Amino acid sequence: MRFMVIVKATPEQEASGGAMPSAEDLELMGKFNEELVRAGVMLAGEGLLPSAKGAKVSFDHGKTTVTDGPFTEAKELIAGFWLLQTRSMEETVEWAKRIPFQEGEVEIRQISELEDFEPVMTPEIAEREQRLRDQLSGN
């Protein structure tokens, strides 16, 4: 299963104008990310610049409106994300608890996946057919 761990923006982060975090914070975050990689659970992760450098596109029945940042509703803004592959929500929560944050909030959402397929062929047939068709792929 895949989960997105969404880091909520704080007013400080929003106001920072995209300033780099401290070396110490970077070091801690680097260690944490390394842990995720070593455990084989990290698919991706990025930090985002403040909304001042962002834009919004809104849709209204065929009409699009573009609004440049910054956006005021800081609570709804996100500052970054991780994409994790784990075996359960509980495991993801456990990883999230280890994020080296002093304050703030992350939100965990499961990514929808197409997992339940209705079987209509036996695997043997499917496998053979796959091999055959792979060979005949030039048609």
C-beta closer to other proteins: residue 59 or 117: 117
| Binding of other proteins by 109 (CB under 8 A) | no
| Binding of other proteins by 43 (CB under 8 A) | yes
User: Which of 80, 83, 77 has its CA nearest to residue 56?
Assistant: 77
User: Which of 82, 7, 1 has its CA nearest to residue 46?
Assistant: 82
| Interface residue with other proteins, options 11, 44, 67, 107 (CB under 8 A) | 44
Structure tokens at 38: 């070593």
User: Which of 127, 46, 43, 33 has its CA nearest to residue 81?
Assistant: 46
| Binding of other proteins by 126 (CB under 8 A) | yes
| Interface residue with other proteins, options 28, 83, 99, 108 (CB under 8 A) | 83
> What number of chain residues touch other proteins (CB under 8 A)?
44
C-beta closer to other proteins: residue 67 or 88: 88
| Binding of other proteins by 16 (CB under 8 A) | no
Q: Is-contact 96 5, C-beta < 8 A?
A: yes
| Interface residue with other proteins, options 46, 90, 102, 103 (CB under 8 A) | 90
Distance between CA atoms of residues 2 and 93, nearest Å: 12
Distance between CA atoms of residues 107 and 6, nearest Å: 5
Stretch that binds other proteins, among 14-22, 35-43, 56-64, 68-76 (CB under 8 A): 35-43
The stretches of the chain forming alpha helices (DSSP H) are 11-15, 23-38, 89-97, 123-135
Binding residues for other proteins, rule: CB under 8 A, are 1, 35, 37-41, 43-44, 83, 85, 87-88, 90-91, 93-95, 113-115, 117-139
